[in-house]
């Protein structure tokens, strides 16, 4: 692309970008609605039950039918991955790296078609969809750069005599399972899979049924780049398939991205028979503190983009806002006015910022949260309704919503995954910081302040893995490989290493100390 797209890109005011995307929206329609098999060792298995995925934009649009993996399929995929893993490791890191760079080039060239499919599949607007593809390309290139910088993670050690050679070698665990979510269906399937593959693990990928098309596209591109069939397998299916894969005796490591309850269940149970690395990247209830010294226009833009981007369906979405009392009324007035300006509609259309939520369950969560605000004595300040007019009646659309609610309401603590943000006044930054940390989560957090002392205290005190100060492009959202490592503390993550950061590849490797005496 002539214009580099990241999640911090503020507008699509680029004729070349818009023309290319809009052409792809028409071109990819012929690729929708097809049957897709479970992919085991390069074989597509379609003689299975199918899941039908429809678009949240318009439920009359069939995205695809996905064969639902049986336990035999998963056994076969894991066995094939296990059998091929020694050969894949023996390729050497340079050859694996070069393949990833080839895949990155292929994906980059297909950016607009992939983005258009993403928009249809999960309802992302054009910038969010282009960002999802561009991030996956960046994962491929960044992890290739990381393994090069670390010389394949081989480190010479000291010796006790001239005849002795000692070296630390980081080696793959073996077979790695990746369970990916719907909301970043390419980046969160491709990112962890790339990390596992480039370090010499083979991968069995289980995507969400909602978002499976992008995982299959990732497999296609990797195959076109030269990835052998035994290195990557895709087992489409529901929760039972994911549970069976995660607990498979011959899986040696797991990356899961999804909800806190499921992530914690896997974290507790996967290691019952033997120790295995379990990287569970879970949810967030991400706070923003706005102090009296803040630029309120900047803060409003950051909150709007953080709360309503991808219709609030990001684990990093801004969901709690604590504003110092002297500027509370002014901030709320500005936030409500800005929310009223947001365009909601078909996300493939230019100028649309908020598209649909993913399914009926999301609409039910939205309606339940709005009802809770009213029942608890709170106030809906903006939005609050389901949109059922015109073409939007064909999909899953709700209004971007701002509320004020009592602090004991569950809307302050429950991750909602809808375009919904709660705001309240606090006496000072310290109270806002304390309320921010009063949660089981610790994924992302934001601050708006012009006071260096406040900023230093906030950075030192906030319990979150990904933090931002004065970021209009997204108060709590928008991490980018090699720019912001993305990972959570507390109940938001188990690995302690953020995706797209300098320590991420380490989790896919285990150390072997080698001593040779001649």
509 domain residue, yes or no: yes
402 domain residue, yes or no: yes
184 domain residue, yes or no: yes
13 domain residue, yes or no: no
Question: Do residues 166 and 312 share a domain?
Answer: no
Task: Give the helix, strand, coil percentages of the chain, each rounded to 5.
Answer: 40, 20, 35
CA–CA distance, 444 with 462 (Å, rounded to integer): 9
Q: Give how many domains the chain has, as a whole number.
A: 2
Indicate which residue of 121, 138, 315, 415 is catalytic: 315
Each residue's pLDDT expressed in tens, for the chain with a length of 518 residues = 456 788 888 777 789 999 999 999 999 999 999 999 999 999 999 999 999 999 999 999 999 999 999 999 999 999 999 999 999 999 999 999 999 999 999 999 999 999 999 999 999 999 999 999 999 999 999 999 999 999 999 999 999 999 999 999 999 999 999 999 999 999 999 999 999 999 999 999 999 999 999 999 999 999 999 999 999 999 999 999 999 999 999 999 999 999 999 999 999 999 999 999 999 999 999 999 999 999 999 999 999 999 999 999 999 999 999 999 999 999 999 999 999 999 999 999 999 999 999 999 999 999 999 999 999 999 999 999 999 999 999 999 999 999 999 999 999 999 999 999 999 999 999 999 999 999 999 999 999 999 999 999 999 999 999 999 999 999 999 999 999 999 999 999 998 899 999 999 999 999 999 999 99
In the residue annotation, 315 being an active-site residue is answered as: yes
Question: Do residues 448 and 510 share a domain?
Answer: no
DSSP letters for 36-66: E-EEETTEEE-SS-EEEEE-SS-TTSEEEEE
Tokens (6 digits) for 54 = 């429809």
Hey, CA dihedral for 446, 432, 292, 320, is it positive or negative? positive
55 domain residue, yes or no: yes
CA–CA distance, 251 with 28 (Å, rounded to integer): 36
Q: For position 312, which CATH number holds?
A: 3.40.309.10
Indicate which residue of 121, 135, 217, 281 is catalytic: 281
503 domain residue, yes or no: yes
23 domain residue, yes or no: no
Tokens 């071109």: give the residue: 27
Question: Do residues 168 and 258 share a domain?
Answer: yes
CA–CA distance, 394 with 346 (Å, rounded to integer): 10
Give yes or no for a contact between 290 and 302, defined as CB atoms under 8 angstroms apart.
no
Tokens (6 digits) for 295 = 């630029």
Q: Give kind and range of the element (H or E) at residue 260.
A: helix 260-269
Question: Do residues 298 and 257 share a domain?
Answer: no
Q: 299 is in which domain, residue-wise?
A: 286-478
10 domain residue, yes or no: no
Question: Do residues 261 and 360 share a domain?
Answer: no
Question: Do residues 121 and 269 share a domain?
Answer: yes
CA–CA distance, 379 with 372 (Å, rounded to integer): 10
Q: For position 152, which CATH number holds?
A: 3.40.605.10
Question: Do residues 245 and 335 share a domain?
Answer: no
Which runs of consecutive H residues, i.e. helices, occur in 150-227? Answer: 187-198, 212-224
Task: Say what the pTM is.
Answer: 0.96
Question: Do residues 239 and 342 share a domain?
Answer: no
Return the closest-CA partner of residue 322 out of 213, 436, 163, 479.
436
Question: Do residues 166 and 132 share a domain?
Answer: yes
Residue pLDDT, tens place only, 140-162: 999 999 999 999 999 999 999 99
Give yes or no for a contact between 42 and 341, defined as CB atoms under 8 angstroms apart.
no
Give yes or no for a contact between 435 and 322, defined as CB atoms under 8 angstroms apart.
yes
For β-strands 318-324 and 286-290, DSSP reports them as parallel
């Amino acid at each position: 692309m002539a214009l580099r797209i990241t999640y911090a890109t503020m507008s699509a005011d680029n004729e070349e970008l818009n023309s290319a995307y809009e052409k792809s929206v028409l071109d990819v329609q012929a690729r929708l609605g097809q049957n897709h098999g479970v992919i085991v060792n390069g074989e597509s298995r379609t003689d299975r039950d199918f899941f039908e995925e429809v678009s949240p934009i318009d439920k009359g649009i069939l995205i695809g039918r996905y064969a639902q993996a049986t336990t035999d399929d998963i056994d076969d995929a894991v066995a094939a991955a296990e059998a091929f893993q020694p050969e894949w490791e023996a390729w050497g890191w340079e050859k694996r790296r070069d393949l990833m760079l080839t895949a990155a080039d292929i994906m980059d060239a297909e950016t607009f078609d992939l983005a258009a499919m993403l928009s249809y599949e999960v309802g992302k607007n054009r910038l969010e969809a282009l960002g999802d593809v561009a991030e996956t390309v960046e994962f491929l290139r960044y992890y290739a750069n990381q393994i090069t910088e670390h010389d394949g993670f081989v480190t010479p050690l000291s010796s006790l005599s001239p005849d002795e050679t000692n070296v630390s070698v980081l080696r793959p665990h073996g077979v790695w399972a990746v369970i990916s979510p719907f909301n970043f269906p390419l980046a969160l399937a491709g990112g962890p899979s790339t990390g596992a593959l480039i370090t010499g693990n083979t991968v069995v990928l289980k995507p969400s049924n909602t978002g499976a098309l992008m995982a299959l596209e990732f497999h296609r591109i990797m195959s076109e780049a030269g990835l052998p069939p035994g290195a990557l397998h895709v087992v489409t299916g529901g929760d039972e398939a994911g549970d069976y894969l995660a607990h498979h005796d011959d899986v040696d490591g797991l990356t899961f991205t999804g909800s806190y309850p499921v992530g914690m269940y896997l974290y507790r149970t996967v290691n019952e028979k033997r120790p295995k690395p379990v990287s569970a990247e879970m949810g967030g209830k991400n706070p923003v503190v706005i102090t009296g010294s803040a630029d309120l226009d900047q803060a409003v833009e950051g909150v709007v983009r953080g709360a309503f981007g991808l219709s609030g369906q990001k684990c990093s979405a801004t969901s709690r806002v604590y504003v110092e009392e002297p500027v509370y009324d002014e901030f709320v007035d500005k936030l409500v006015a800005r929310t009223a300006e947001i365009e909601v509609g078909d996300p493939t259309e230019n100028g649309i910022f908020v598209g649909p939520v993913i399914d009926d369950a999301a609409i039910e969560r939205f309606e339940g949260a709005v009802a809770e605000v009213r029942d608890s004595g709170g106030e809906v300040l903006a939005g609050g309704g389901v949109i059922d007019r015109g073409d939007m009646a064909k999909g899953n659309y709700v209004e971007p919503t701002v509320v004020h609610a009592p602090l004991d309401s569950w809307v302050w603590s429950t991750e909602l995954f809808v375009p919904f943000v709660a705001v309240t006044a606090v006496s000072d930054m310290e109270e806002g910081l304390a309320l921010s940390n009063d949660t089981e989560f610790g994924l992302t957090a934001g601050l708006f302040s012009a006071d260096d002392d406040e900023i230093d205290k906030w950075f030192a005190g906030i319990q979150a893995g990904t933090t931002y100060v004065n970021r209009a492009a997204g108060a709590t959202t928008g991490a980018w490989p090699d720019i912001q490592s993305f990972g959570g503390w507390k109940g938001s993550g188990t690995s302690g290493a953020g995706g797209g950061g300098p320590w991420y590849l380490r989790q896919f490797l285990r150390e072997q100390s080698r001593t040779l005496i001649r």
